[in-house]
Chains A and B, each alone.
Chain A
């Protein structure tokens, strides 16, 4: 047994040395970006797309460099959960010694990582976590470029009541931090306006068949809007099931599905006619005519032969915003943090960026409303 103990010690020690050796490779004049993305499990849905956006940005930046700096990214699988994200963050900080970290997507994971980056004094630039707790009260080292659940939910409830004249709503949401959080904000504000919430139906990420849920929704009477908060996979099934049950416009009914950021461009091609009339907030509007957007879309298409999603766009914006900070003089964790905080009307592909006291992006031009047309294309509604 003692032999085994010794063998284990030696091997663990060897691995430790190996890891130390790796981190000694740091090059001069490189901005090191740590990326905490979920790369395994169902959360890899985010990580895989984030990585595409990051790679595109790196390719463009490292052709010339910024202020003499090149950019290097180290990915760590943070698995969309508090403990693995904590471990991944500590590993990054200890071994890669990043100047700035981007990620995570899932709110639980981001919230768990925040105290760690604060202690290590490394800025964390987040795009995909919607929970209000990320920036409220927030901490000086965590920044978010995406409008949080409150900004999106209040705005969506306003527009549903005022522009769409909706009076009744049924909430469909996945039972996750983001799903519940977004649905609650909508509910509070919709009721405040005088709207009525007929049912709140939450479901696990393992629910397969939405026919039963659609049947229940169909039996709830006259519904104007159905705010839906799920990821692409379940979103597809819900949209098809609701249409099949004759609830939504796509199935000959009156109800209109609405929602936020969760569904990418290209969702309609998968959902087909069922998606007709779906109105939602997207983070990235590929129909925008700003040059950054056109160039990004073209470059993305050239590299991956596909249209970019909001996740691709977010990851791209995260890296490009860091590059902008470096251009303004950022070169280490502290100066990048200060540079991020001082950002004024930075124009990214998802919209512009300017942080408030809690480091939340305040720009509402990141909230793009889209409607699905009969030919499954998008029309920008210009509600913001």
Chain B
């Protein structure tokens, strides 16, 4: 009985964790390259969710295709926010300006979505959410299997892209040492744009996969974003491997805190871990080999 519960909560935690990873990876990619935070990232998740919902319900397309649509919507949003906010503000000196500007964007997006979609939660049913696999007292829905599968594949692709392609290597180079990257003959502006597009596409996609799981309202994304911030720090800013690990850990913390303590305490446990991490190892779970001037 107890081992089944422990196992079941592990599965629950991993499902949630892999969704958090997708959201947090976008934040960490942007941070790695620009040392900046896009506060509207959460709303990209929400809009991705709505995009998938309406694509499924209005066009009648399948769920998997609608995940792709949300990916594209996210990509467009990423391009837009970079062109409209981050590029113009880059030369203005104050690193807090983009953060505040994107808070404005976030307020605007939430309330526009509220005006369009209304406050009443949508029921996003996919053909997979009601099909459940049961085995030895453990269960998992096909929806969750898809979540784990799609996020694993995406994360693996992203990882391979970063490790093995020229562009990916360039991204890593920029995030680790901007001057050297400039010397390598890489146009940093294009790289930054690419980063925003990838990061936001991940957010949109995460939205499509979160939509059947969470309560789909114009405020859906905000409930994930505070945890995504925590994951980015615990994993070490700009560190992809660390973020993946941290995301899974936070997912597991959530399910085990629910089981053994109280769901009300989840944020306290997560952020206490964050403060402990900052105190003992501020560079994150996995340190990259780079000069830390923290």
Contact = CB atoms under 8 A, between A and B. Distances in A.
Q: Do A's and B's CB atoms come within 8 Å in the complex?
A: yes
Interface of A: 40-42, 44-45, 47-49, 175, 201-204, 206-209, 211-213, 215-216, 219, 232-234, 236-237, 240, 244-246, 269-273
B114, B123, B219, B266 interface centre (most CB from chain A within 10 Å): B123
Given A204-B264, A270-B123, A209 B114 contact: no
Contacts of A272: 125, 130
A105 to B, nearest CB: 12
B5 A219 contact: yes
Contact of A175 (B118, B120, B223, B264): B264
B212 to A, nearest CB: 10
Given A48-B119, A212-B255, A202 B114 contact: no
Which 9 A-B pairs give the minimum distances between C-beta atoms? Answer: A233-B215, A233-B121, A270-B123, A206-B223, A208-B214, A203-B263, A212-B258, A212-B255, A44-B119
6 contacts: A42-B119, A208-B223, A212-B12, A233-B217, A237-B215, A244-B139
B28 to A, nearest CB: 20
B15 interface: yes
B258 A216 contact: yes
Interface string B223-236: 11010000000000
A243 to B, nearest CB: 9
Chain A interface SS verdict (over half): helix
Contacts, number: 103
B141 interface: yes
A41 B219 contact: yes
A298 B250 CA distance: 50
Contacts of A273: 130
Interface of B: 1, 5, 8-9, 12-13, 15-16, 111, 114, 118-121, 123, 125, 129-130, 132, 139, 141, 144, 210, 213-217, 219, 222-224, 226, 254-255, 258-259, 262-264, 266-267
Contacts of A232: 120-121
Given A41-B219, A47-B119, A175-B264, 19 more contacts: A42-B217, A44-B114, A201-B263, A202-B262, A206-B222, A207-B266, A208-B224, A209-B16, A209-B214, A211-B255, A212-B9, A215-B5, A215-B9, A219-B5, A233-B215, A233-B217, A236-B215, A245-B139, A270-B121
